[in-house]
């Protein structure tokens, strides 16, 4: 999952929840938005009906009964390594399981995502439910699952996000076994490209290919009650300054310096102003260059990171920084009355950003479902697959799939599966309320006009 997750504010009881261990670990509490004290009556009513329906009760029992089998899926998938850009083998295994559990038309798309549509009764919303295939671990990592006892398993990637994949398969199985007919469509996805260098390429493809998605619920390791609503966007650049270079004494006055030019740029960037809300940040993270102390530098490089909780200030800040770089080159050339210093910029990171309003139906649905499982909702933020729909204004949340988890992105990554089925039930209930169940509840998620290509 995520880079720099941070909880925002709590909800239902308006109490600020304190986080235990987990993916969404407390860093700073920023009260970005007031959250509703209670959910709207339609949401409350839908979940009351849903949870009292015998068909849904039986379905939830089936999630519990399927726990041991789903742990076998978890072990199997975890032991197929899936480094960024090398998710194919795991994708094929996940696809085979999806087909075996009843999505005959499931397939792997052009980007490498596994996609399967479970149709509703028609005219309902289309909800994307997803978990990511990729892990941060490079090829050759020992991904053998170790049994630590007392329900604890350890292996790189086991919780982030292989548990999410196994939960999706379990939902598919129980929905089919119990012939549950949802009103809206469920688009089951195991996607590629969530982790850092993937730049969300999998999700970008999903939303480019499916213009009629009305909402997204992603599964990631997270404590019970956690609902991610904020997706911090980022753009990253590698900037290279180049000139002829020359002797520090002999060529002085005739050539510009790549390092001096970059220094001018950094000074200008350091003065860029950004809003504190939505939080927008920048930094020149690394610098390098030069040949020796007595050489006018022919080359200098820096890496710049720009982030924001919304796209507009992100793009605004990016514009200022790119202009500062160009101005700096003009100044350095002018200083020596030459035109031999040049600069090139390369986008090396591109994650869109956005936010799902805390008072939207999708957040209230998760909040109400959490409450019925005895959990206070904690609204959080991070950079995840949900950044893509959020940047498009499509309601999206990331929730947990059950189990206590920790050690993400470390070789010691673990999951405690004791009672983990409760989390899988809780998140499934959230999903069912959103798409509706035929004969039980209408969908809560609104159908949106399809987006243009």
- 1 part of the interface to Zn ion, by CB under 5 A: yes
Radius of gyration of the chain measured on its C-alpha atoms: 25
Shortest gap between Cβ of 64 and Zn ion (angstroms)?
A: 25
Closer residue to Zn ion (CB): 220 or 318: 220
Per the CB < 8 A criterion, the answer to whether 177 and 73 are in contact is: no
Cβ nearer to Zn ion, comparing 161 with 242: 161
Nearer to Zn ion, 161 or 214 (CB): 161
Q: Whole-number minimum distance, CB 132 to Zn ion, in Å? A: 6
Give the nearer residue to Zn ion in terms of CB position, either 133 or 371: 133
**Euclidean distance between CA atoms 219 and 163, whole angstroms:** 9
* Sequence-separated (6 or more) residues with CB below 8 Å from residue 288: 300, 301, 302
Rounded (5°) CA angle 442-447-449: 160
C-beta of 245 vs 381, nearer to Zn ion: 381
Task: List the structure tokens of 362.
Answer: 């999708």
Please state, in angstroms and rounded to a whole number, the distance separating the CA atoms of residues 30 and 333.
44
Give Cα separations from 194 to 216, 243, 250, 372 (angstroms): 15, 38, 51, 31
One residue of 134, 160, 309, 364 binding Zn ion per CB under 5 A: 160
Query: Residue 130: phi, psi to the nearest 5?
Result: -145, 160
Stretch that binds Zn ion, among 146-154, 170-178, 213-221, 303-311 (CB under 5 A): 213-221
Q: Can you tell me the distance from the alpha carbon of 78 to that of 252, in angstroms, rounded to the nearest whole number?
A: 60
> Residue 394 CB, nearest distance to Zn ion (Å)?
20
Task: Identify which range of 1-9, 204-212, 235-243, 250-258 contacts Zn ion by CB under 5 A.
Answer: 1-9
When the beta carbons of 170 and 191 are compared against Zn ion, the nearer one is: 191
CA distance 188 to 115: 6
C-beta of 1 vs 396, nearer to Zn ion: 1
Residue number with the shortest CB distance to Zn ion? 1
200 belongs to the binding site for Zn ion (CB under 5 A): no
**Which two structure tokens, joined as six digits, stand for 265?**
């740029």
Piece of the chain touching Zn ion by CB under 5 A; list 68-76, 201-209, 214-222, 285-293: 214-222
Number of residues that bind Zn ion (CB under 5 A): 4
Closest listed residue to residue 366, CA positions, set 12, 4, 7:
12
Q: Which of 116, 129, 132 is nearest to 199 (CA)?
A: 132
**Closest CB to Zn ion among 200 and 343?**
200
Asked if residue 161 binds Zn ion (CB under 5 A), the reply is yes
Does residue number 385 form part of the binding site for Zn ion (CB under 5 A)?
no
Look up tokens 């260059």; give the residue: 289
Please report, for residues 175, 233, 287, 343, 377, the alpha-carbon distance to residue 238 in angstroms, rounded to integers and kept in the order given.
48, 17, 10, 11, 39
Which two structure tokens, joined as six digits, stand for 133?
């295939």
Residue 388 CB, nearest approach to Zn ion (Å)? 14
Distance CA 388, CA 396 (A): 9
390 vs 435 by CB, closer to Zn ion = 390
Q: How far is the CB of 164 from Zn ion (least distance, A)?
A: 8
* Interface residue with Zn ion, options 87, 220, 309, 413 (CB under 5 A): 220
Q: Helix, strand, or coil here: 104?
A: coil
Task: Report the nearest approach of Zn ion to the CB of residue 221 (Å).
Answer: 7
Residue closer to Zn ion by CB (options 136, 239) is 136
Count CA within 13 A, CB hemisphere, residue 74: 34
| Token output for 42 | 């339609």
> Is 134 one of the binding residues for Zn ion (CB under 5 A)?
no
Give the nearest distance from C-beta 196 to Zn ion in angstroms.
Answer: 11
Rounded least distance, CB 195 to Zn ion, Å: 7
Return residues touching Zn ion (CB under 5 A).
1, 160-161, 220
């Amino acid at each position: 999952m995520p880079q720099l997750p941070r909880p925002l504010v709590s909800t239902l009881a308006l109490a600020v929840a304190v986080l235990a261990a987990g993916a969404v670990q407390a860093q700073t509490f920023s009260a970005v938005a007031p959250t509703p004290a209670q959910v709207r009556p339609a949401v409350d009513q839908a979940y009351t009906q849903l949870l009292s329906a015998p068909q849904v009760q039986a379905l939830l029992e089936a999630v519990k009964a399927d726990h041991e089998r789903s742990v076998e899926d978890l072990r199997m998938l975890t032991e197929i390594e899936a480094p960024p850009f090398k998710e194919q083998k795991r994708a094929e295994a996940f696809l085979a399981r999806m087909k075996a559990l009843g999505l005959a038309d499931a397939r792997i798309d052009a980007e490498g995502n596994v996609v399967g549509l479970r149709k509703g009764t028609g005219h309902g919303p289309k909800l994307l439910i997803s978990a990511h295939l990729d892990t941060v671990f490079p090829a050759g990592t020992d991904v053998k699952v170790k049994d630590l006892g007392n329900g604890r398993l350890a292996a790189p990637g086991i919780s982030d996000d292989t548990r999410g994949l196994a939960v999706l398969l379990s939902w598919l199985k129980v929905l089919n076994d119990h012939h549950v007919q949802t009103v809206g469509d469920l688009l089951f996805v195991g996607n590629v490209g969530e982790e850092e260098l993937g730049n969300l390429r999998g999700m970008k493809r999903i939303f480019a290919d499916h213009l009629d998605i009305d909402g997204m619920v992603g599964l990631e390791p997270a404590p019970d009650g956690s609902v991610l609503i904020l997706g911090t966007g980022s753009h990253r650049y590698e900037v290279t300054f180049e000139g002829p270079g020359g002797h520090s004494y002999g060529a002085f006055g005739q050539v510009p310096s790549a390092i001096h030019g970059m220094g001018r740029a950094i000074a200008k960037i350091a003065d860029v102003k950004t809003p504190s809300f939505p939080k927008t940040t920048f930094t020149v993270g690394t610098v390098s260059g030069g040949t020796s102390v007595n050489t006018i530098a022919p080359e200098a490089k820096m890496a710049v990171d720009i982030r924001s909780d919304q796209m507009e200030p992100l793009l605004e800040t990016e514009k200022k920084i790119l202009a500062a770089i160009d101005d700096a080159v003009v100044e350095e050339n002018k200083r020596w009355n030459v035109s031999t210093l040049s600069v090139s910029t390369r986008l090396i990171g591109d994650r869109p950003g956005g936010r799902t309003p805390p008072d939207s139906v999708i957040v209230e649905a998760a909040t109400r479902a959490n409450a019925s499982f005895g959990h206070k909702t904690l609204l959080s933020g991070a950079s995840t697959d949900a950044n893509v729909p959020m940047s498009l204004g499509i309601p999206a949340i990331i929730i947990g799939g059950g189990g206590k988890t920790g050690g993400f992105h470390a070789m010691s990554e673990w999951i405690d599966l004791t009672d983990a089925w409760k989390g899988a039930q809780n998140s499934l209930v959230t999903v069912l309320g959103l798409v509706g169940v035929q004969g039980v509840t209408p969908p809560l998620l609104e159908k949106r006009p399809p987006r243009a290509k």
